Amino acid sequence: MKYDVVIIGAGPGGYPAAIRLAQLGKKVLVVEKEAVGGVCLNWGCIPTKALCHAAEVRASLGFFQRIGLGVGDTGLEFAKLQQWKEGVVTKLVKGIEFLFKSNGVQLLKGTARIISPTRVQVKGEVLQDADTDAIIVATGSTPTPLPNIEPDNERIFYAERALFFKHVPPSMLVIGAGATGLEMATIYNAFGTRVTVVEIMDQVSPGLDKEIAENLAKLVQRQGIELHLSSKVASIQKSDATLSVTIELPDGQSVQKEFEKLLLAVGRRPVTDDLLDRGIAIETDQNGFIKVNEKLQTSVPDIYAIGDVTGPPLLAHRATRQGLVAAEIIAGHDARYDPKAMPACIFTLPTVASVGMSEEQAFQAGYEIEVGRFPYSALGRAATLGERDGFVKIIAEKGSGRLLGMHVLGTGADLMIGEGLLGLELDASVESIGSSVHPHPTLLEAVMEAAENVKKRAIHIKN
């Protein structure tokens, strides 16, 4: 078999790269060992957000009752919810398979091994080789194991397993307060699980703007989630019914608690095992992630790499953009992967979204800064939704007023962050954002008011 490009992995980086290459007239083979859509579609982003939406609706029932809608908690048919979630995933997977067929992309199920820069061996139902002019590695990432904690996929497991529970567990310990850990914690807390989160760092979602992180931690705890920062799990004892866990606290004390389930959410590593034949060497960093240049080329020029396998930030939309750029470069277009900003969202209750520098990062980079904030409690649209928790925070360069970063904690954060993204890409000033006419009544007005608050000119708060 001879192809212009062989893509290893059909996740959010690989499948868009394949479609774009086909659009540009290339003959493309995609090798995928599991399901198209990768972790993101099948065991990550999409099923998690489906459950997150259900948790958000369930958490809103009290508000509905308060405003006179008479909606009560009629119970949780968890099996039915899981069936709906799987239906969402199946429909999207079939959609990608249809797009492959309609664009002439060939899909081959199996495990790929790079034999040379121009040959890939695929082990599926039969062993076969594919000759190619270029290779794109889009193999993604997998959870990082913790020393002395062995998953058994029943009581101790990674986040993917938590998406397929048949019943809501009565109690669960989550190790890791990053995006994955917090999302799972808030989802199952809303479903009725008693949740405890342990994080070794001194804030939730390390790397997030500290003020946003501190407020998110308070809201998570207010929901009934027990949170231990600067803490770690010292030991786990299994019995027939429960896991007895000893948690070391920052003051040197320890507590012992019983849980039915334990979820590990402490990081991810690249999927590169058995990827390369002995004669092929690709440069990696100290953590095993593949190094690439602005053209997404590895140290072997005809082998490209995209997505999680190239290192942090491990984001599906980053992988997609890299895939499209790699496709255009291979097709001979003058393209570069050089984004000015990379947005990130955490789908907790409420949602967090961030783009650009945090306040701490701006200081570390040597900027003199000004900060603007606007709370949901002063926003008309938020009041109509019963949402008082949350705020928009804008970081600007002092003097020029150039936007450096935007952070949102609250309902609709994932939609609102787009304005900050475009502002950073276009080198916008907070004055231009604040003076732009924003529709009323919307949550987006909080961005306008936060931008105005940078210069202490916001209307609906005391500056």
Sorted by sequence, the CB contacts under 8 Å of residue 69 that are 6+ apart come out as: none
Q: Are 302 and 330 in contact (CB under 8 A)?
A: no
Residue type at 59? A
Sorted by sequence, the CB contacts under 8 Å of residue 443 that are 6+ apart come out as: 376, 379, 381, 382, 410, 411, 412, 415, 416
Residue 440 annotated to the active site = yes
Residue type at 408? V
Q: Would you call 314 exposed, middle or buried from its count of C-beta atoms within 10 A (0-12, 13-18, 19+)?
A: buried
Residue (of 251, 324, 310) closest to 13 by Cα position: 324
Residue (of 30, 39, 111, 34) closest to 276 by Cα position: 111
User: What DSSP character marks residue 389?
Assistant: S
User: What DSSP character marks residue 257?
Assistant: E
Phi first, then psi: give them for residue 330, nearest 5 degrees: -60, -35
**179-191 and 45-59 are packed helices; what angle lies between their axes, rounded to 10 degrees?**
40
Q: Are 217 and 203 in contact (CB under 8 A)?
A: yes
**List 167, 228, 438, 440, catalytic entry:** 440
Residue (of 7, 65, 61) closest to 32 by Cα position: 7
Residue type at 387? E
Residue type at 12? P
Instruction: Extract the tokens encoding 205.
Output: 């979602």
Please state the separation of Cα 111 from the chain's center in Å. Answer: 26
Q: Are 161 and 37 in contact (CB under 8 A)?
A: no
User: What DSSP character marks residue 72?
Assistant: -
Which amino acids are annotated catalytic? 440
